[in-house]
Structure 1
Amino acid sequence: MAGELIDVHAHFVTGDYIAAATEAGHVTPDGMPRWPAWTPEDHLSLMDVNGIQKSFLSVSSPGTHFGDDVAARKLSRQVNEYAADLARRRPDRFGHFASLPLPDVEGALAELAHALDELGGDGVALMSNAHGRYLGDPAYEPLWEELDRRRAVVFVHPTSPVNHEQVAIGRPRPMLEFIFDTTRTVSDLVFTGVLTRHPGIRWIFTHGGGTLPLLSDRMELFRTAFFGGSPDDASVVEQVGKLWFDIAGTPFPRQVPALEKAFGAERVLYGSDYCFTPPPAVAAQVASVDATWRALTTANARRLLDR
């Protein structure tokens, strides 16, 4: 198929992972009706039907840390070795962003080294918050230092905020809360200075950047008018404009034009969100991506991820 896509936002699940998550209370993940089914064969079939050349696999929300550091380290190692084995067997079709067991920083550093140095991962995957601790948390600084040193790709997937029962109004959190949690964690990275201290990290955020195209100017107002930030320092728009964004979800006709107007198109990537997005919805989303955006997102992905 002409204009084949590179998918940076693709998920997998294993039986062991679902069992561990279910045992920890995630029976209906993030308020969705059920866990999705997934096999490598089904994923390859979906890719072939929709013109997806390669998919970079990651574990979605709720991640791999369910409250116990030891269990989280073990589960992260299991899913990372599974995905790495698949990527080794089919390097033409699959890559892998390795799960790290935050908020366990020591465990995350150990798994980072194993995943990138031993398993050959293409980057790492984090949740937008870890039990309510967002990515600007000072405890994470050793991890950012190491990721910056490596110039690593960091794929950040949204997850439910704490106390979601009070804000989600009984609806699945991916509908609204994921979008706002992406915005919330990026704002934390901006206002704690992580983005400017660690410019070597190559961050990918999902779903067109959530509400960042709409709220970055408002964040800049607060940075300068209320928090004492200098207008001569990098603005919020400049900092956010150096991030990468996938277009999983409903990119057209409104979301991607807003993203492009706010931050340009040089760091926009394709994402399907399969297997949590069902095949008919993936097909509809792919159909909305015209030849120009296919070519642009694929060129951007190769610039970011080709080794």
Structure 2
Amino acid sequence: MIAIEEHWQLPEVAAEVRALPEQRGDASVMFDEIDDNAERLADLGDARIAWMDDQGVDIQILSLTPPGTQPLDPAPARLLSRRANDIVAEVIRRHPARLRAFATLPMADPEAAVAELERTAGLGFVGAMLYGRTGPTPLDDPRYNELWATAEALRQTIFIHPQIPAGTVRRAAYSGFDPLTDLGLATFAWGWHVETALAALRLIVRGTFDRHPGLQIVLGHWGELLPFWTGRADSLSAIAGLDRKVSDYIRSNVYLTCSGMLDPALLRHAVAVTTPDRLLFSTDYPFQRPSRAEIGAFLAEFPTDEARELFATGNARALFGIS
């Protein structure tokens, strides 16, 4: 079992994000402090591996928890991205059979982001985890063209993770309730997923995958709503001058992971709109913690042994080069 969306946190990053002005910060960092999340996020050793053993997970692919370093100014983003990557590289060196990682990139400095992707690829990282915006700048902005070209050339997969909507959007669409309900509506209940789907859709419409057909991205939560709306999204293709339908790019350039949402109905839809070789397992640790029994019951829902094996391990081995 290879779980690909498993988080950790660097306290210095969380502190820098919390110190930002409200309009630039990310209130979802408060989820790090719920229950024992902070303790679990900080642990990259024996306790984490013991939990993996209890779940039946053989390998976790680690990623810095949201929002990474993307809200930060260029200088702290460069410093803390490199520090986070160096820490996790050493952890993987100590546990080579159990852990891998997505890199953290200083997206506020596009040239530095490219350089860090190159460096971490050389350290054995399997790709990078990004968010849909850096300040007001979306991932499809031309300033990131070299990053996408480098990711394709190095076969570094890019995981696009949910991110809280911009402040103006939060106030217009996700406010009017008590503060906690506002936050939940803007994050795990809805806003996170719409934002991520939009980031991926913008990359498709921008022609990113026409220019870089070998580029692969991952979307969590069964595709962040996008696979459920392909019939409508396909109508963009002709308008945007794309070579193919949006749904074709999803089947050729996008992998979907479950993010601990072990719902057979979502599985059936994902198989219907993509193929079994596009699906990946993850638990979204520590925010979701399915038990070994729950994981086993979900795996029993797969239509064939081959599809089950691809989801649990085969697709991740092939995509990330895990021998």
Q: What is the TM-score when the length of structure 2 is the normalising length?
A: 0.84
Q: How far apart in 1 are the matches of 2:283 and 2:247?
A: 26
Match of 2:298 in 1: 289
Q: Which moved more, 1:202-211 or 1:291-300?
A: 291-300
2:266 is the counterpart of 1:266: no
Match of 1:126 in 2: 130
Q: How far apart in 2 are the matches of 1:111 and 1:216?
A: 34
Deviation at 1:74, TM superposition (A): 0.4
Q: How far apart in 1 are the matches of 2:3 and 2:151?
A: 22
Match of 2:28 in 1: 29
Q: How far apart in 2 are the matches of 1:33 and 1:73?
A: 23
Q: How far apart in 1 are the matches of 2:228 and 2:298?
A: 22
* Residues 49-60 of structure 1: pairs in structure 2 closer than 5 A: 49-60=54-65
Q: How far apart in 2 are the matches of 1:228 and 1:177?
A: 25
Q: How far apart in 2 are the matches of 1:263 and 1:134?
A: 26
Match of 1:142 among 136, 140, 146: 146
Q: Which moved more, 1:215-224 or 1:27-36?
A: 27-36
Match of 1:78 in 2: 83
Deviation at 1:287, TM superposition (A): 4.7
RMSD: 2.2
Counterpart contact for 1:250–1:285, Cα < 8 Å: no
Match of 2:217 in 1: 203
Q: Which runs of 5+ in 2 are unaligned?
A: 176-181
Match of 1:12 in 2: 8
Change (3 A) 1:222 1:23: same
Q: Deviations over 1:198-234 (max 9, x none)?
A: 122221111110111221220112333xx1647xx31
Q: How far apart in 1 are the matches of 2:295 and 2:256?
A: 16
Change (3 A) 1:30 1:284: farther
Counterpart contact for 2:7–2:63, Cα < 8 Å: yes
Greater relative CO (CA pairs within 8 A, separation 6+): 1
Match of 2:316 in 1: 301
Q: Deviations over 1:239-260 (max 9, x none)?
A: 1112111111424132221111
Match of 1:171 in 2: 183
- Structure 2 counterpart SS, 1:45: helix
- Structure 1 counterpart SS, 2:124: coil
Deviation at 1:68, TM superposition (A): 1.0
Q: How far apart in 2 are the matches of 1:136 and 1:255?
A: 28
Q: How far apart in 1 are the matches of 2:113 and 2:55?
A: 35
Aligned length: 296
Match of 2:248 in 1: 238
Q: What is the TM-score when the length of structure 1 is the normalising length?
A: 0.89
- Structure 1 counterpart SS, 2:193: helix
2:123 is the counterpart of 1:114: no
Match of 2:268 among 216, 239, 257: 257
Match of 2:159 among 155, 158, 164: 155
Q: How far apart in 2 are the matches of 1:171 and 1:284?
A: 32
Deviation at 1:31, TM superposition (A): 5.9
Deviation at 1:112, TM superposition (A): 1.2
Q: Deviations over 1:248-283 (max 9, x none)?
A: 142413222111111122110001110233x3x566
Q: How far apart in 2 are the matches of 1:288 and 1:103?
A: 43
Counterpart contact for 1:132–1:161, Cα < 8 Å: no
Counterpart contact for 1:129–1:161, Cα < 8 Å: no
- Give the helix-richer structure, 1 or 2: 2
Change (3 A) 1:185 1:254: same
Change (3 A) 1:31 1:257: farther
Counterpart contact for 2:77–2:108, Cα < 8 Å: no
Q: Deviations over 1:134-175 (max 9, x none)?
A: 221111101111112112211221111212233234032122
Counterpart contact for 1:208–1:251, Cα < 8 Å: no
Q: How far apart in 2 are the matches of 1:59 and 1:219?
A: 31
Runs of 4+ in 1 over 6 A off after TM superposition: none
Q: Deviations over 1:18-44 (max 9, x none)?
A: 333333365852563736222123321
Q: How far apart in 2 are the matches of 1:191 and 1:228?
A: 6
Q: How far apart in 2 are the matches of 1:111 and 1:80?
A: 9
Counterpart contact for 2:26–2:164, Cα < 8 Å: no
Counterpart contact for 2:234–2:247, Cα < 8 Å: yes
Counterpart contact for 1:98–1:121, Cα < 8 Å: yes
Report percent identity of matched pairs: 27
Q: Which moved more, 1:75-84 or 1:286-295?
A: 286-295
Letter in 2 for 1:42: A
